[in-house]
Structure 1
Amino acid sequence: MARETPEMREDGATPAARRAAARRRALRKGQHDDIVSVLMLIAGAALFFGPWVAGQMADNARDASSNELVMGLIVVFVAGRRLSRGAGVCSDLVILLAGGWMIAAPFVLGRGDTRVNGPSTFDITVGIVLAVLALVGLGLLRAARGPGRRARHA
C-alpha cells in the first residue's frame, strides 16, 4: 500500500490523477455537450421542419406530419436543454426513446406499405441518427465519469 503524501487527497488521487480527471471533464464538455447536442438539435429541427419542406402538410399524411412535428419539438427542447445545462443520462435516454419511436413509427402508424415512401425513409433515417447520437452521448458520459466513480469490489 502506498504511503499517503501531502499532495494526495482523501480519495487517494495524486495531482496527475486530478489532471487526468480534469482532461476527461474537458473532453466531455467539449465533445458531449457541444458537438453531440448540436447534431441532435439539427436532427430535431429537420424533423420539425421536414413536413413543410416536403410539402406534406397539404397531403393526407396528417398522422405522419403531426408525429414528426411533436417528436421534432421534443428533440429540439431536450437538445437545447443539453446545450444550456449540460447533458445527463436522462436527456440521452429521452433522445434514445425518440429515435426508437421514429424508427418504429412508420410501422406502428401503418405507413410502411403506403404509396408515399419518402416519409418512412426520412423517419427511419432520422431515428437511426438520433439513436446513434444518444448511444454516443451515453458512452462519452460514462467515459467522463472515469474509473474512480465505478463501484469497487473487494
Structure 2
Amino acid sequence: MRSWSATEDKHIAEVKLCHYIVLFNKFKFFKINVTGKQLGPSYVHLFLHSPIFGSFQIFQTITPVEPLLQKVVHRFYAPRLMAPIVKILICGESIMFERDMNIWDHKIYRGNPQLIVEDSSVKKFRKWYSNFYSVNSDGFNISETLQW
C-alpha cells in the first residue's frame, strides 16, 4: 500500500505507506503502517503503527536558516517500553536522512522529469508544493559564475 494525496484542506497533504522486511522472498516481518500528514512546506507528522510494537509518532520540522540551508528537527514519541526499538529507528532515520542530504546537495532541478509509474506521486506533490509560492516569491538564479 502506498498513496499520496492532497486533502480538502489545501495546506495539508497525506501519505500512506506500509513497511516490512521480506525474508526469502516469502515471509513478511516487522510490518509497520505509516500515515503521514504534511502541513505546508515545513511540518510533517507521521503516525506509525505496528501490530507487534504498538503505535508511536514522529514530528519533523524544517526551518529555513539562510538560502540553501535549513534546520531539520525530528522528534520521536513512543511508550517507554518501545525505547530500544525507537533507538534503532532513529539510527535508521539518521542514515537515510544523511544519504538523502548527499543527493540534495548534488541535485539538478528538472522542470518536467521523466517518471516511472511508481513515482507518479512526485508530479502531484510538486503541484501541491508550488501552492506555497507566489509569483513574487524569492527565487535563486545561478549566474554564469555559479554564484548565488
TM-score (norm 1): 0.30
Higher share in helix: 1
- Max Rg structure: 1
Higher relative contact order (CA 8 A, sep 6+): 1
